[in-house]
Amino acid sequence: MHSPNPETDWPSELYRVLKAAGVKQMSYVPDAGHSQLIRMFSADADVTTNVLTTEEEGIAIAAGAWLGGQRSVLLMQSSGVGNCINMLSLSAIGRFPLLMLVTMRGEWAEFNPWQVPMSRATQPSLEAIGLKVMRAETAGDLVETVESAAALAYESDQQIAVLIGQRLIGKKKW
Amino acid sequence: MCIPSELDRRAAVAALLRNRKDTLVVAGLGSPTYDLHATGDRDDNFYLWGAMGGAALIGLGLAQAQPSRRVLALTGDGEQLMGLGGIATIGVARPSNLVIVVIDNQHFGETGMQASHTGRGVDLTAIATACGFVATATVRTLEEVQGLAADIAEPADGPRLFVIKVRAENPPRSLPSRDAVFIKNRFRAHLGFAAA
C-alpha cells in the first residue's frame, strides 16, 4: 500500500485530511504553496471549487455553503488576509464554521519586501477580528494541525486560520 | 445619465417574491434586508446586517450546496458594487440555480442618500453579461417586475442578474432579528440540518 511521506508530500496529506473531514467546497486565490492542493481539488468531481477575484469572497461562499449544509475550505496566501477583515464579521457574528489555510510570505528568506508588512499583520489582524490562529512549521505538524482545525471548525462552529510557515513551503525561485 | 424611477421598492419586492414558493433568499444589508422582512419573516430568509459585498457570494455557496433549490440574492446597488469581483467569480462558477436581483435606487440609501455609481452610468447588467451571466435585464415598472418574477421561476442554464430601478427613498424600516446565529440555525433547520 502506498503511504505518502508527510515530510515531502504534505499537500496530498492535506487533501486526504480535508476529504475525510467532509469538505465539499473549496475556494482560493492561488499561491504557489497551494498549487498542488488546488490541482487535486480541481480534479475532484465531488468537490466544487471556486477561483476568487479577492479572498473575502471565499468567506461569504463558505457561509453560504454552511447555510446549505456543506463544508467549505478557503486557500490563500498571507497578503490575502488583509482583504478579508470586514467580511470575517460574517463568520464571527454568525458563528459560521470557517477553515482558512494561509501560506505565509514575507517571513523567511523573502525576496519581495512588499510581502513583509502584511506578513507582519497577518496573525494580529486575524486575532483582532476574532479568529483562532494555528501555525505549523513542519509538514508533519501541519497535517495534524489541519486535521484538528477542521474538527474545531466544522464540529465546534469555530473560525480558524491555519498559517503555513514560509520555511515549510520553501524559498521561491526568482 | 441618472434616470429616476418612480417604482416603489416595497411594492416591487412584494411582486417579485409573491410566488417565490421554495426559493431560498439571501438579502444584502440595509434596505434589501428590510424589504425582504416586510414581505413576511420566513425560515428560508437569510438577512445580512453587514458583510457588505457578500450577499451574492453567500448565494453562490448556498446554490452550490443546494443545486436542486433556486437561490435568490436580493441586494442593493451599493452592496453589489462593493462585490463587483464576485460577479466574475459567479460567472465562472456558472450556478444555474442562482439569481441576483439588485434593487437599484442609484444611491447609498442607508448613509444619507449619496449618489452611487449606478446613477452615473455604471450598468451592472452589462458587467454581468460580460462575465458570462446567461440572462440580464433592467426593469422599471411593476408590470415588468411581475414578468421578471415569472421568468425567474423558469429554469436557466447559468446565473442571472436583474436590476430593478426604484425610487430613491427610505420607507419605514421593517427590522428582522439581528442575531445571525439564530437566523443561521433557523435557516439550516428549515433545510433539515441540526444545530451543533
| Section A32-37 average pLDDT | 95
Looking at mean pLDDT, say which of A165-174, B1-10, B14-23 comes out highest: B14-23
Write out the three cell numbers for A123.
496573525
- CA-to-CA dists, residue A153 to A104, A110, A131, B4, angstroms: 21, 31, 11, 47
Q: Is the model's pLDDT at A57 over the cut of 50?
A: yes
- CA-to-CA dists, residue A9 to A30, A40, A74, A108, A139, angstroms: 19, 12, 20, 21, 8
E strand map for A1-144:
23-28, 48-51, 71-77, 98-103, 132-136
**Distance from the B30 Cα atom to the nearest Cα atom in chain A, whole angstroms:** 15
B58, A63: Cβ pair inside 8 Å? yes
Q: Is the model's pLDDT at B3 over the cut of 90?
A: no
**Distance from the B46 Cα atom to the nearest Cα atom in chain A, whole angstroms:** 9
Summarize pLDDT for B99-109 with one digit per residue, the tens: 999 999 999 99
Interface list for A 62-101 with B (CB within 8 A): 62-70, 72, 86-87, 89-90, 93-96
Q: Is the model's pLDDT at B167 over the cut of 80?
A: yes
Q: Does A23 contact B at CB distance below 8 Å?
A: no
Q: A1 falls in which pLDDT band (50, 70, 90)?
A: very low
Summarize pLDDT for B17-75 with one digit per residue, the tens: 999 999 999 999 999 999 999 999 999 999 999 999 999 999 999 999 999 999 999 99
* CB nearest to A87's CB, from B51, B65, B191: B51
Among B60, B84, B181, the strongest candidate for a mutation testing the A interface, having the largest count of A CBs within 10 A, is B60
B61, A60: Cβ pair inside 8 Å? yes
Among A44, A67, A95, A98, the strongest candidate for a mutation testing the B interface, having the largest count of B CBs within 10 A, is A67
Q: Is the model's pLDDT at A2 over the cut of 90?
A: no
* CB nearest to A65's CB, from B61, B83, B181: B61
Q: Is the model's pLDDT at A158 over the cut of 60?
A: yes
Amino acid at B188: R
- What kind and span of H or E run contains A91? helix A88-94
Instruction: Name the interface residues of B facing A (CB cutoff 8 Å).
Output: 24, 26, 46, 48, 50-55, 57-66, 83, 85-86, 88-89, 92-93, 180-181, 183-184, 187-188, 191-193, 196
Residues of B in contact with A69 (CB under 8 A): 65-66, 188, 191-193
Q: In angstroms, rounded to a whole number, what is the distance separating the alpha carbons of residues A1 and A141? A: 23
Q: How many CB pairs under 8 A join A and B?
A: 124
Summarize pLDDT for A108-145 with one digit per residue, the tens: 999 999 999 999 999 999 999 999 999 999 999 999 99
The complex's ipTM?
Answer: 0.97
Residues of A in contact with B53 (CB under 8 A): 56, 60, 87
Write out the three cell numbers for A138.
513542519
Q: Is B46 helix (H, G, I), strand (E, B) or coil?
A: strand
| DSSP symbols for A76-90 | EEHHHHHHHTTTHHH
Residues with Cβ < 8 Å from A154, sequence gap 6 or more?
Answer: A21, A22, A71, A97, A99
Q: B194 falls in which pLDDT band (50, 70, 90)?
A: confident
Write out the three cell numbers for A140.
508533519
Summarize pLDDT for B90-134 with one digit per residue, the tens: 999 999 999 999 999 999 999 999 999 999 999 999 999 999 999
A64, B59: Cβ pair inside 8 Å? yes
What is the sign, positive or negative, of the torsion defined by CA atoms of A16, A18, A20, A22? negative
Q: Is the model's pLDDT at A151 over the cut of 50?
A: yes
Residues of B in contact with A65 (CB under 8 A): 61-62, 64-65
Its pTM stands at 0.97
